Amino acid sequence: MVARFVGLLEGPQTLGRGPVFWGGFVALLVFLLSLPMWVEAFTVNNIAYFFTWVFMALGLSLIWGYTGILSFGQTAFFGLAGYCYGVITINLGSAYGMTFGALLAALVITGAVAALLGYFMFYGGIRDVFVGIVTLSVTLVFETFMAQTAGPEWAIGEARLNGFNGMSGMPPLTIPWLGGDDIYLEGPPLYWFMVVLTVVVYLAMRMLVNSRFGNVLVAIRENPLRAEMLGYDIRRYQLVVFVIGAVLAALSGVLYTSWGTYITPSTMGLTASALPIIWVAAGGRKDLTATVVATVFLVWLSQILAVKGSQYALVLMGAILLVAVMLAPEGFVVMLARRIGRLRPGGRADIASPRDRAAD
């Protein structure tokens, strides 16, 4: 059982293996968990914000990198879940852990919407670039609709949608505690929750893509026709992956809404829908670790540049995507990891690509 667990964590579909990688992983985790002890609260809250986007990027890596489906719908699911969380919590409050019930409800609703959309796409014969066109259209329609809900008639119970200004005033995530006092996940508690959740989702995703299911996804990405001829119902696999990716995007949406206690239609705009594509492409869309590293770094970089003007961040993100496509199509993080693996004596197998390991 232990050997199978380790085998899934270090399978052929992910970079990073051996004591060096996992030793560094544990050291980084200890560092992150101890960060609130010696860093000011503002910085801790900012780092928690960076982690809110990781789940959406991991979902896109699974959809696009491992299965070969380019989707612009991640931000639509992100926004849908954020609004669902806001509507539920504003109407029902945060007592007795109701916010976690709202989180689960937002994930279920988003997953159901993604399943419906995915069913019509994949079982309707939509493939390749047309999936990207459909998902982008859905995202833009959703953003346009939510931006038009400014009037007082656009309310669900006590929750006003507020059009382009978005919803605000929803409570953060809370944990019921003895004595009737809830623990609000704000500041360090929210940061620790984000770090632990990121680690759990990351490890679970590694096990998924290195399992038999993940191997089928890679087969579909490389040659859908051949995978279908081998007896796999590729439409079912594509639908399942699309739903998983949507639920991960929904998780990001709820965490973002809880972190800032607001959500606006701009989180589903054309610019917003392109950013996850840039993060995943720049890091390495075919690897989860590269996706996490690139997402956190680029979100941090965007925030630094946004102080001087949002246009600077957007121009840089576009330039990064252009350079990645031309010079590092597998991603900068993946390219760097492989070069380090070739240079480090006796350590190539720790971070080498599946093709390199097969050659060994």
* Alpha-carbon span 215 to 222, nearest angstrom: 11
User: Whole-angstrom distance between the N-terminal and C-terminal Cα of the chain?
Assistant: 27
Full pLDDT tens readout for the chain, 360 residues: 666 777 788 888 888 888 888 999 999 999 999 999 988 888 899 999 999 999 999 999 999 999 999 999 999 999 999 999 999 999 988 877 789 999 999 999 999 999 999 999 999 988 888 999 999 999 999 999 999 998 888 989 889 999 989 898 888 888 877 666 677 888 888 999 999 999 999 999 999 999 999 999 999 999 999 999 999 999 999 999 999 999 999 999 999 999 988 999 988 888 889 999 999 999 999 999 999 999 999 999 988 887 766 667 888 888 988 898 888 888 999 988 888 765 444 444 344 444 444 333
Q: What is the pTM of this model?
A: 0.91
Polymer length of the chain: 360
